[in-house]
Amino acid sequence: MIKILEGAAENTIAIDIIDGYELADEQAIEKMFEKKIALGITRINFLAKTDQISLNHSSWKAMWNDGLFAIKHMKKCGHIAIVGNSKLEGILVKTDNAFFQSNKADRAEKYFDIDDLDNAMGWANE
């Protein structure tokens, strides 16, 4: 289940993933992204708080679709902040960023510890 987080700028989507991440969640995020595109926003930032996610209750298909959507819309992505409590997530974000990051497009993915949520939101809102 996803919950919208407060404090996001107009060009930012900020969510908290609680328990499982399902196809309905992935589709809701796609709709939010497409709504921002329809508003004329050309660079969309994203923050995902993942400290309460349960992979046992999540859909691998939803995660796969999410990745495909991100690749398809990569040129419209800006800052992506992942906020969690796992060193493994931090490593995965660094690996992902090796392919995703573009200084020219100001596109980057960054991991933040859960205690640093305010800084993560600030960075995502840049």
pLDDT (tens digit per residue) in 15-41: 999 999 999 999 999 999 999 999 999
pLDDT (tens digit per residue) in 57-78: 999 999 999 989 988 998 999 9
Whether the CB-CB separation of 124 and 81 falls below 8 Å is answered with: yes
Choose the weakest-confidence range: 12-16, 69-73, 104-108: 104-108
Domain boundaries, given as residue ranges, for the chain: 2-124
What is the arithmetic mean of pLDDT over 37-52? 96
Residue 55's pLDDT band (boundaries 50, 70, 90)?
A: confident
Q: What pLDDT was estimated at residue 107?
A: 85
Q: What are phi and psi of 101, to 5 degrees?
A: -65, 140
Q: Indicate if the pLDDT at residue 104 is higher than 80.
A: no
What is the arithmetic mean of pLDDT over 82-92? 90
Using CA atoms, how far apart are residues 62 and 59, in angstroms rounded to an integer? Answer: 5
Q: Which CATH architecture has domain 2-124?
A: 2-Layer Sandwich (3.30)
Paired with 109 in beta bridges are 80
Residue 67 burial (CB count, 10 A): 12
Q: Indicate if the pLDDT at residue 4 is higher than 90.
A: yes
Q: Indicate if the pLDDT at residue 103 is higher than 80.
A: no
